[in-house]
Amino acid sequence: MVVGQVAEGRDLVVLGGGLGGYEAALRAAALGRTVMLVDRAGVKGLGGECLHRGCIPSKVLIERAHHDGFDEYLADRGPVVEDLRAAVERQVRRAGIEVVEGQARFLPGERIAIDRPGELPSFVQYRHAILATGSRPVEVPALPFGGAVLDAAGLLALDELPRSLAVVGGGAIGVELGTALARLGVAVTIVELTDRLLPGLDRDLGPFVGAALGALGVRVELGAAAVGHADGVLRLERDGAALEVAADRVLVAVGRRPNTDDVGIEATGAVLEAGGLVRTGDTGLATPRIAAVGDVRVGPALAHKAAAEGRMVAEVLSAVVGHRDVGAVPLIVFSDPEVASVGATAADAAASDGELVVGTVPLRASGRARTMGRSDGLVRLVAERTSGVILGAQVAAPHASELISTATVLVEMGAVLEDVDGMVLPHPTLGELFGMAAAAAVQASAA
Ligand SMILES: Cc1cc2nc3c(=O)[nH]c(=O)nc-3n(C[C@H](O)[C@H](O)[C@H](O)COP(=O)(O)OP(=O)(O)OC[C@H]3O[C@@H](n4cnc5c(N)ncnc54)[C@H](O)[C@@H]3O)c2cc1C
């Protein structure tokens, strides 16, 4: 890498040090590639949005809100994030990956410019590149970020709790953070434009979460649009009627847009879809030399999907595999109860003309759930009627975020209902519910 117009050659350059980027870099280095990773924040940025402003701090908040308090969150969020970041840095250094700080953008002729404030850009020429620049929150025009209006990162960075919070957006991030703040004593209202909470998930899961939010004292306004905020009041409109919600702070969590508008994509021959996602085939390749992974690529904006794609494209670009299916991607909301889904859903079964069957067991059927004082939830398996091959699962239960890994294994390994029905599963555990759901689906297949 040199300053000036002359570019030094690099075998593989990764743009972005989030999970997608650093997993790609590690796998490529393990395959013998010489890797440069560029992140806006250099080694301090390793881990990306998930580690610094997303998955990890939000789960510290959720855990401390459940078991401790806000002071414990303030004490723990920094050290947890830094310990994990430092562990990634050690891995990256051990792998011999060169980490460069700067904003990277593509130039014609397989070159990348790296910009740093107050310095001349430097240039590298790449054989292969991996775009892993992630995403940023979408703004609502009537509620520009700033002042009392926060994105998730702003909320997670608060040092003091507000008295009241309005959450605009009833998806995973809004529900998770709204629940945590309500547990900490904040008066929370969740405002959602559609007619249900968690609109991205199976229709049967949201009501469990809605009921638990109600019990926590959270107000939920469905079918309502936020139209402005001033003097501690959020104004809403529903069916032409005006509503008001007390809100010292407003969290806007209505979606994310890919960071592909400032990376010089037009210089590469890669094509952007509507919404700014990079068009790739199954291989993750956007051009023969450039791959795209994570939040810049089609699919759910989730950390584990970014990581899996990172490993896949490293292998594709290193000619280890022509293509590898990243497989079923579990969706999880760390709500109360936790909800999770993988693969085919009840809606898919309903639309399948009888080709798919469903086995559903209510959580109250589980002795373990009852010992935990919980009966609000379900476990469901979705399978092919004739073969019994399990294609999907949904869980609303305590520890659904852990249970869904079992279901993901069943789906990925092509497990059959009869096998799961016949397994000896430990009692009393929540995992037993998979055996009961399999038995229910076997019965449904025979009907
Ligand atoms: C509040 C919140 C909670 C979440 N919780 C979960 C969860 O529980 N589970 C889950 O799976 N997902 C969760 N997510 C989503 C998850 O954070 C993202 O899907 C994941 O971070 C995507 O990884 P990525 O590698 O594509 O990009 P990112 O993690 O966004 O990393 C991109 C990196 O690239 C850098 N960068 C951007 N542009 C450039 C450039 N031009 N040059 C150099 N560097 C650049 C950025 O600074 C960043 O470090 C959550 C997100 C939020 C906001």
Tens digits of residue pLDDT in 283-317 = 999 999 999 999 999 999 999 999 999 999 999 99
Q: Does 2 score more than 70 pLDDT?
A: no
Q: How confident is the model over 354-370, as a mean pLDDT?
A: 97
Measured at the alpha carbon of residue 74, what is the angle toward residues 72 and 78, in degrees to the nearest 5?
115
Q: Does 390 score more than 60 pLDDT?
A: yes
Phi/psi of residue 258, nearest 5 degrees: -70, 145
DSSP structure string for 198-241: STTS-TTTHHHHHHHHHHTT-EEEES-EEEEEETTEEEEEETTE
User: Could you give the count of Cα atoms lying within 13 Å of 148 in the half-sphere of its Cβ?
Assistant: 19
Q: Does 210 score more than 90 pLDDT?
A: yes
Give the torsion sign (CA, 369, 372, 377, 383).
negative
* pLDDT of the residue at 5: 66
Q: Is 266 exposed, middle or buried (0-12, 13-18, 19+ CB in 10 A)?
A: exposed
Tokens in use for 374? Answer: 């919980």
Tokens in use for 23? Answer: 């997993």
- Candidate of 55, 126, 408 to mutate for ligand 1, largest count of ligand atoms within 8 Å of Cβ: 55
Taking the CA of residue 55 as reference, the ligand 1 atom at the shortest distance is 5
Distance 242 CA to ligand 1 centre (A): 36
Whether 58 is in the pocket of ligand 1, judged by its Cβ within 6 Å, is yes
- Each residue of 87-115: pLDDT tens digit? 999 999 999 999 999 999 999 999 999 99
Q: Please state whether beta strands 2-3 and 111-115 pair in parallel, antiparallel, or not at all (unpaired).
A: unpaired
* pLDDT of the residue at 301: 96
Q: How confident is the model over 383-397, as a mean pLDDT?
A: 98
Query: How many CB atoms are located within 10 Å of the residue 356 CB?
Result: 22
- Each residue of 28-54: pLDDT tens digit? 999 999 999 999 999 999 999 999 999
Nearest to 112 by CA among 121, 383, 17, 120: 121
Distance 346 CA to ligand 1 centre (A): 30
- Each residue of 243-285: pLDDT tens digit? 999 999 999 999 999 999 999 999 999 999 989 999 998 899 9
Tokens in use for 320? Answer: 């280890």
Confidence class for position 1, pLDDT limits 50, 70, 90: low
Phi/psi of residue 291, nearest 5 degrees: -110, 160
Q: Is 436 exposed, middle or buried (0-12, 13-18, 19+ CB in 10 A)?
A: buried
Q: How confident is the model over 419-430, as a mean pLDDT?
A: 96
Measured at the alpha carbon of residue 204, what is the angle toward residues 200 and 207, in degrees to the nearest 5?
90
Residues in Cβ contact with 318 at an 8 Å cutoff, skipping those fewer than 6 apart: 28, 31, 32, 33
- Each residue of 150-202: pLDDT tens digit? 999 999 999 999 999 999 999 999 999 999 999 999 999 999 999 999 999 99
Sheet holding 249-252, edge to edge: 149-150, 249-252, 164-168, 187-192, 219-222
Whether 343 is in the pocket of ligand 1, judged by its Cβ within 6 Å, is no
Q: Please state whether beta strands 98-101 and 103-107 pair in parallel, antiparallel, or not at all (unpaired).
A: unpaired
* pLDDT of the residue at 149: 98
